[in-house]
Amino acid sequence: MMTEGQQSKQENPMKRIYIDKVILHIAVGESGEKLEKAKRVLEELSGQTPSERKAKKTIRDFGIHRGEKIAAMVTLRKKKAMEVLQRVLAAKGNAVPLSSVDRFGNLAFGIKEHIDIPGMKYNPEIGIFGMDVIVSLARPGYRVQRRKRSRSKIGKEHRISREEAIQFYRSIGVNLV
């Protein structure tokens, strides 16, 4: 049985949780042809042009130099984010470890081979890439934290808790094991 405060909390439209963005990330570790192939995989999956990411520092053991392009990523929002997320989750059997949800409600998991995703076919010219998938949740009103003018903080009551996020993920069909 719910108390009056809990009912008003659920009915409040500002408490509605939605998927803010889905980020697909492939870290190759080197620039050149391999990075271009990874970008092609992301473009094929998302339909958007991926951006390149540079190394923050030099690691001699791995042969990485500061400023060298070593990864590619794409950020998806709204309908496109939901479509790609459903395809990516299908590759995992809609099951993700419960430990993949952080205390702010974000979900992060990896895919070992991009060809596991429905609709993606193996291309011998490209090869096989693994990728990271990060899902970020938000509520209406989160813009006050990111806007340029009159920026302010989000209160503790308005933040998404881990439990609320788990409940939301289960409602959209994600099986958290």
* Helix axis angle, 78-91 to 33-46, nearest 10°: 110
How would you write the pLDDT of the chain (177 residues) with one tens digit per residue?
556 656 655 688 888 888 999 999 998 877 788 888 888 888 888 889 998 888 888 888 877 788 888 889 999 999 999 999 998 988 888 888 888 888 888 999 998 888 888 888 888 888 888 889 999 999 998 888 888 999 899 888 888 888 888 899 888 888 888
- Domain with 32, as residue range(s), is 16-176
CATH number for position 119 = 3.30.1440.10
**Residue 8 included in any domain:** no
Strand-pairing partners, residue 18, are: 138
**Residue 9 included in any domain:** no
Number of domains in the chain: 1
Its sign, for the CA torsion 99, 102, 105, 109, is negative
Ramachandran category for residue 64: left, alpha or beta (phi over 0 → left; psi -120 to 50 → alpha): beta
**Residue 121 included in any domain:** yes
Token pair for residue 118? 């429905």
**Residue 163 included in any domain:** yes
**Are 135 and 22 a contacting pair, CB within 8 Å?**
yes
**Residue 112 included in any domain:** yes
pLDDT at 77: 92
**Residue 20 included in any domain:** yes
Residue written as token pair 């009915």: 11
**Residue 135 included in any domain:** yes
pLDDT at 24: 92
pLDDT at 2: 57
